[in-house]
Amino acid sequence: MSEIRINEKNKDRLFTFLFGNEEYKENTLSLYNAVNDSNYSNIDDVQIYTIGDAVYIGRKNDVAVLFDSRLSLWEHQSTYNPNMPLRGLIYFGQMFDRYVTTNEISIYGSSLVRLPTPKYCVFYNGDDDLPPVIKLKLSEAFAEPDESGEFEWTATMYNLNHENNSNLLKNCKTLSDYMTFVNTVKANKKQGLDKYAAVDKAVTECIKNDILKEVLLKHRSEVVGMVLTEFNEEVYKKGIYDEGYSKGKDDGKAEGIVEGFSQGQSSLAEAVKKLCSGATVEDLIKEGVDKKTAELAWNCMHK
């Protein structure tokens, strides 16, 4: 295996690098067209709008794009996170504030301020068997149910592994290549390679098969560094979960287990609390909890 010098200062994610990069705006426009079923061709009109200091677990949000009177936020997730609407609401607030400030728009006058239309997409490529499209709503997190619809923020999550989203990948080759690269890394890890070897081998294989070839040839060391950084993020998040679970197991209290899910598993955490209070899996399902979440909560309780 060839020696590769990794730029440890590069904290971007590969998804961000491919779709939120001034160097590769053609990828940005391609994904925009695929998501919105459009056919725009002028990349000069695309404005990368990502705010670099919006930090979650030590990194900025993935990609924000201002184009065609729309303000789009694209997030990549390898684990299911029901808190994406809240994250998006916070982030869009920052972007709208930036938009109003930079365009010197007054929000205190009698005229209605016109804002770019928001669209929030989450691209999921994890291993869970999830539906092709899931509408994650902020109202699902409200402590008291509110069906008025007056306060809502929605993230549309696309499961890129599902066959029903094949057209999305077909219409954006870079997104398809990205998925192929990620899946190649996963396959290499399953063969027993350590994370560095798995990534480096995936780079070599994808170059050979004309997958992200131009990017990998030009930015090989950066790509390896990005993917290894993402591995480290996953280890960090798993550490939070394990710490919370261990505390709950030792104390025999639901609060400790809930702590382990505090980084994005509120629905699962609520199911665990109900099981700790004497509910059964069947009770949870009757209350509207999906079967997968109910069974996962039960497994956590009896691990």
Alpha-carbon span 80 to 126, nearest angstrom:
7
Stretch 242-267: mean pLDDT, rounded? 50
43 pLDDT above the threshold of 90: yes
Please report whether residue 194 resides in a domain: no
Q: And the tokens for 274? A: 């109900």
Characterize 156-182 residue by residue with b for buried, 16 or more Cβ atoms within 10 angstroms of its Cβ, and e for exposed.
Answer: ebbbbbeeebeebbebbebbbbbbbbb
Model confidence over 82-111: pLDDT tens digits?
Answer: 999 999 999 999 999 999 999 999 999 999
Per the model's pLDDT, the better-predicted residue between 49 and 272 turns out to be 49
Model confidence over 268-281: pLDDT tens digits?
Answer: 667 776 776 677 87
- Collapse the DSSP code of 65 into the 3-class scheme (helix H, G, I; strand E, B; otherwise coil) and give the result: strand
- Provide the residue range defining the domain that includes 98: 1-168
Domain boundary among 153, 168, 183: 168
Stretch 147-164: mean pLDDT, rounded? 94
Please report whether residue 134 resides in a domain: yes
Average pLDDT of the chain? Answer: 83
Please report whether residue 279 resides in a domain: yes
Contact 250, 279 (CB under 8 A): no
Within this chain, do residues 155 and 28 fall inside the same structural domain, yes or no?
A: yes
264 pLDDT above the threshold of 90: no
Within this chain, do residues 102 and 7 fall inside the same structural domain, yes or no?
A: yes
- List the single range of 22-26, 115-119, 291-295 with lowest mean pLDDT: 291-295
Alpha-carbon span 274 to 280, nearest angstrom:
8
Per the model's pLDDT, the better-predicted residue between 240 and 102 turns out to be 102
72 pLDDT above the threshold of 90: yes
pLDDT score for 5: 43
Domain boundary among 118, 145, 168: 168
Per the model's pLDDT, the better-predicted residue between 116 and 54 turns out to be 116
Number of domains present in the structure of the chain: 2
Alpha-carbon span 53 to 122, nearest angstrom:
20
% the chain with pLDDT above 70 = 76
Please report whether residue 204 resides in a domain: no
Model confidence over 173-228: pLDDT tens digits?
Answer: 999 999 999 999 999 999 999 989 999 999 999 999 999 999 999 999 999 988 88
